[in-house]
Amino acid sequence: MTLAIDRHDPAITAHAESYRQAAASKRRQMLVGIAVFAICVWLSAVGAEVRLGTLIENIHRFPNYIWQTLPTLRLASLGSDLAEWYWGLARWLRLLWQTVLIAYVGTILGAAGAFLFCFAAAANLGRAPWLRFAVRRYLEFCRTVPEIVFALIFVIAFGLGPLPGVLAIAIHTMGALGKLFSEVVENIDLKPVDGITATGGSWWQVVRFAVMPQVLSNFASYALLRFEINVRGASIMGFVGAGGIGQDLIEAIRKFYYTDVSAIMLLIILAVMLIDLGTERLRHALLSLESRS
Amino acid sequence: MSIAISATERRDILQRHAAAIRGSTRTRFFTIATVVFILGLFLYGLTTLETTLWRVLAGFGNLGSFVVLMLPPDPGSWAKALIFVQALFETIAIAFLGTVLAAILALPLGFIAARNVVANRIVHFLARRSLDTIRGVDALIWALIWINVVGLGPFAGMLAIMTADFGAFGKLYSEAIEAADRKAVEGVASVGGGKSHEIRFGLLPQVLPVIASQVLYFIESNTRSSTIIGIVGAGGIGLYLAETIRTLEWQQTSFLILLILVAVSAIDFLSSKLRFAIIGKRAV
């Protein structure tokens, strides 16, 4: 059996025509999109002063640089080579520990601040709209200004050392976590809230007994995630004199102590990986705790 | 009718439902131990990080006077304002071009690192670990390295953003590809398509919307990180930011911060509109 189609059937030609028109308009839209995109790329290439010639001419320096940072390790004298590579291990480990502490203290302070603000920023707990608006704009400000800019200002206000780094991370964390926390609060089940309100509980009692039990494990999980991010952030705080291992790293890069660069970077990457693994375990434990209750 | 209960009844209820009201001793002990550990480490951190009350108070005093000096935001002169706006344009250009180039360059690597495209375990492991290493190095450090290659200026900053994002995009792509539905790929294979057909017609249509939304999100977040890349001399507004802070030109600093805030929220707005247009209602 054959399926005969009359090509000159007016119904079919009308359909074919409308299909052709739809395809053409889609193609036109696509072309306009591509043109706009190309103009944006060209404008940014001018803005970013892209010089392909310089890049091609000097690209060999990139692998060279990485190659030079690698230490010479010979199998025969592996022990002493390693010792030479990590000659400053004691100092670097101390600075690394300081970096982790900066991230930790900053995270705790920031999470505490976010905890205080998130209930006022949430839309479902019936606080005054002007208060919600003010708190939301404040948190937005805290997370939009990069932490290293805060660190630059704090270094001048508080003096060199880890303290400005801690405060910069705390402020940025407060902004980022405040938003996440308030979103968690907005997603809660409102029945317990109604229950506490019905028995005559005040706003504070509602937050304590109806909201907190629902959100606490999520808060802890987000805070742990933020701690991970903050360890990375704290490792570059030293670039502007705000404590941690970044101080030694930027010195090694600026003074071309090649093998030191790779040694410190390897330490940072290892520490970040270990903390990633640890916090991932903890977060899974927290989430399973939540699903069991 | 009243529903008041007597003291003895109350005690009785408390005793019978002790586990529900007070919680088990084990969970209570666990909670207390966690809180003590968190607070202990926090206090230990405070003491080792040279935080004395006097220093904190003096610092906040200084900070207060800086804030007073920052108001109102003022670029100083029209010429300066023009330079700052130009630097802002440079910053956005760095973020945009860096993200777009990273998104394009990471595409092949994303396929290599995906387990359902390249089944080889060793290739998969190597691709993933190298992506992790690239991702683990901060954009500021990449900027310092690229400055050695192409010299100071925004070009180095663009390359740094590109390198740092390359790792992140590779990982995101490979995860999106691994989460893709097998059925479309099998369908293409069953009508006689080769490996490249499978990727083009089976995988790409599924992962492209996810990728597009990720790219837009990264342009947003990179605008923030490219504002600071100038601190190490890799172009953009960060150079002026660091300079005005170091020379205590507080009014110019607050003007620059205001510029950044406006630019970032404008780009947030634009990209959320675009994301909505590309993905439609089911925004990722």
Q: For residue B184, give the nearest of B210, B204, B209, B211 by alpha carbon.
A: B204
| Residue-range definition of the domain harbouring residue A133 | 89-292
Task: Say which of A41, A104, A154 has its CB closest to residue B45.
Answer: A104
A65 in a domain, yes or no? no
Do residues B146 and B49 both lie within one domain?
Answer: no
Q: How confident is the model at residue A96 (pLDDT cuts 50, 70, 90)?
A: very high
B257 contacts on A by Cβ (under 8 Å): 145, 149
Section A147-168 average pLDDT: 89
pLDDT of residue A244: 86
pLDDT of residue A126: 66
Do residues B130 and B244 both lie within one domain?
Answer: yes
Question: Is the predicted pLDDT of residue A41 greater than 70, yes or no?
Answer: yes
Task: Say which of B97, B232, B246 has its CB closest to residue A48.
Answer: B97
Q: How confident is the model at residue A46 (pLDDT cuts 50, 70, 90)?
A: confident
B261 in a domain, yes or no? yes
Amino acid at A162: P
| Residue-range definition of the domain harbouring residue B88 | 78-279
A163 in a domain, yes or no? yes
Residue B279 in tokens: 């993905």
Question: Is the predicted pLDDT of residue A185 greater than 50, yes or no?
Answer: yes
- The secondary structure of A236-262 as a DSSP string is TGGGGT-SSTHHHHHHHHHTT-HHHHH
Do residues A47 and A112 both lie within one domain?
Answer: no
Q: For residue A182, give the nearest of A226, A125, A265 by alpha carbon.
A: A125
* Chain B residue whose CA is closest to A265: B137
pLDDT of residue B279: 66
pLDDT of residue B283: 43
Do residues B84 and B12 both lie within one domain?
Answer: no
- Residue of B35, B44, B141 to mutate for A, most A C-beta atoms under 10 A: B141
Return the number of CB contacts < 8 Å for A and B: 167
A1 in a domain, yes or no? no
Segments in chain B below pLDDT 50 = 1, 281-284
- Tell me if chain A has a CB within 8 Å of the CB of B168: no
CB B220 within 8 A of CB B268: yes
Tens of pLDDT along A187-221?
Answer: 888 888 889 889 888 888 888 888 888 888 888 88
Last residue of a domain, one of B49, B70, B91: B70
CB B202 within 8 A of CB B139: no
* Chain A residue whose CA is closest to B43: A105
- Residue of B65, B97, B208 to mutate for A, most A C-beta atoms under 10 A: B97
How many CA atoms are closer than 13 Å to the CA of A210, on its beta-carbon side?
25
B 184-223 residues with CB below 8 A of A? Answer: none
pLDDT of residue A2: 66
| Spatial distance between the Cα atoms of B40 and A214, rounded to a whole number of angstroms | 26
User: For residue A66, what are the CA distances in angstroms to B38, B171, B233?
Assistant: 39, 22, 20
A269 in a domain, yes or no? yes
Do residues B66 and B146 both lie within one domain?
Answer: no
Do residues B95 and B198 both lie within one domain?
Answer: yes
Query: How many angstroms separate the CA of residue B42 from the nearest CA in chain A?
Result: 6
Q: Is the CB of B242 less than 8 angstroms away from the CB of A166? A: no
Q: How confident is the model at residue A177 (pLDDT cuts 50, 70, 90)?
A: very high
Q: Is the CB of A145 less than 8 angstroms away from the CB of B49? A: no
- The secondary structure of B30-87 as a DSSP string is HHHHHHHHHHHHHHHHHHHTT--HHHHHHHHHHHHHHHHHHPSP--SSHHHHHHHHHH
Do residues A169 and A35 both lie within one domain?
Answer: no
Task: Say which of A46, A66, A144 has its CB closest to residue B261.
Answer: A144
Interaxial angle between packed helices A212-235 and A162-186, expressed in degrees from 0 to 180 and rounded to the nearest 10: 150
B2 in a domain, yes or no? no
Do residues B18 and B96 both lie within one domain?
Answer: no
Q: How far is CA A202 from the centre of its chain?
A: 37
Number of domains in chain B: 2
A204 in a domain, yes or no? yes
B39 in a domain, yes or no? yes
Amino acid at B128: R
Do residues A140 and A261 both lie within one domain?
Answer: yes
Number of domains in chain A: 2
Q: Please report, rounded to a whole number, the percentage of residues in chain A having pLDDT higher than 70.
A: 96
Question: Is the predicted pLDDT of residue A292 greater than 60, yes or no?
Answer: no
Do residues A106 and A194 both lie within one domain?
Answer: yes
- What count of other Cβ atoms lies within 10 Å of the Cβ of residue A212? 15
B123 in a domain, yes or no? yes
Terminal-residue alpha carbon distance, chain B:
56
Amino acid at A277: L
Last residue of a domain, one of B28, B53, B70: B70
Task: Say which of A47, A50, A62 has its CB closest to residue B149.
Answer: A62
User: For residue A248, what are the CA distances in angstroms to A92, A240, A262?
Assistant: 8, 11, 12
Task: Say which of B48, B155, B232 has its CB closest to residue A51.
Answer: B155
A55 by Cβ neighbours in 10 Å (0-12 / 13-18 / 19+) ranks as: middle
Do residues B125 and B173 both lie within one domain?
Answer: yes
Long-range contacts of B76-84 (CB under 8 A, 24+ apart): B76/B249, B76/B251, B76/B252, B80/B252, B81/B255, B83/B240, B84/B237, B84/B240, B84/B252, B84/B255, B84/B256, B84/B259
Question: Is the predicted pLDDT of residue A183 greater than 90, yes or no?
Answer: no
Question: Is the predicted pLDDT of residue A127 greater than 80, yes or no?
Answer: no
Residue A254 in tokens: 């600026």
Q: For residue A267, give the nearest of B137, B222, B166 by alpha carbon.
A: B137
pLDDT of residue A101: 92
* Chain A residue whose CA is closest to B48: A98
Task: Say which of B51, B55, B154 has its CB closest to residue A49.
Answer: B154
* Chain A residue whose CA is closest to B87: A47
Do residues A238 and A116 both lie within one domain?
Answer: yes
Do residues A150 and A39 both lie within one domain?
Answer: no
Do residues B230 and B110 both lie within one domain?
Answer: yes
Query: How many angstroms separate the CA of residue A83 from the nearest CA in chain B?
Result: 23
Looking up residue B215, the CATH number of its domain turns out to be 1.10.3720.10
CA angle A284, A288, A290 (to 5 degrees): 120
Question: Is the predicted pLDDT of residue A73 greater than 70, yes or no?
Answer: yes
Q: Is the CB of A146 less than 8 angstroms away from the CB of B227? A: yes
B90 contacts on A by Cβ (under 8 Å): 47-48
pLDDT of residue B175: 82
Please, what is the average pLDDT of chain A? 86
pTM of the model: 0.81
A68 in a domain, yes or no? no
Do residues B158 and B52 both lie within one domain?
Answer: no
Do residues B87 and B224 both lie within one domain?
Answer: yes
pLDDT of residue A145: 87
User: For residue B214, what are the CA distances in angstroms to A239, B103, B106, B204, B211?
Assistant: 29, 9, 13, 15, 5
Amino acid at A37: F
- Residue of B21, B46, B49, B246 to mutate for A, most A C-beta atoms under 10 A: B49
Residue A54 in tokens: 């310089």
B1 in a domain, yes or no? no
Q: Is the CB of A152 less than 8 angstroms away from the CB of B245? A: yes
**Phi, psi (degrees; rounded to nearest 5) at B255:** -65, -45
